[in-house]
Amino acid sequence: MANYYGSNPYGEPSGTPYGTPPPVDPLSQPLRGASIGTAYVRFWKKYAVFSGRASRSEFWWVYLVNAIISAVVNLTNSEALTILGGIYSLATIVPSLALGARRLHDVNRSGWWQLLGIIPIIGWIILIVWWATGPKPEGTRFDV
């Protein structure tokens, strides 16, 4: 018999009204199949969050937007845009590192592996391969 708090098949209360699952903070979980706008908004909302995981779409959409912004700024000869581009680059350092760390967490690697980027060419190739790898269930150990 189900009560106000619902029950599982064994008749024990589930702790939530009518057996509904407890609310999940959408920012604490990776967003699979993220749209470009959603991924970019989450990038700024999780500015310095180095814990948790990020999906491939979350990661690559943000890097595409940042690459387009960088290309537009670099192709213009306007001094004002160059200064704004520099400010934008500085503003995205921390969230980019955080996003990279969360993406590595999704493939069951520590965020510290981003230090491979210090190694010319080889380090970046390894990071790109890992960032492009599909999620691994063992990566849940990094969940908040």
In tens, the pLDDT along 37-63 reads 999 999 999 999 999 999 999 999 999
Percent of the chain with pLDDT over 90: 64
Q: Are 73 and 82 in contact (CB under 8 A)?
A: yes
- Locate tokens 């670099």: which residue? 74
Residue 79 has pLDDT above 70, yes or no: yes
pLDDT given at position 77: 82
Kindly report which listed range (15-24, 121-130, 135-144) carries the lowest average pLDDT score: 15-24
Please tell me which residue, 78 or 16, carries the higher pLDDT value.
Answer: 78
* Rounded-to-integer distance, Cα 87 and Cα 73, Å: 11
Closest C-alpha among 96, 105, 95 to residue 130: 105
State the average pLDDT over residues 72-99.
Answer: 92
Tokens, residue 46: 């999780």
- β-sheet bridge partners, residue 7: 13
Instruction: Give pTM, 2 decimals.
Output: 0.79
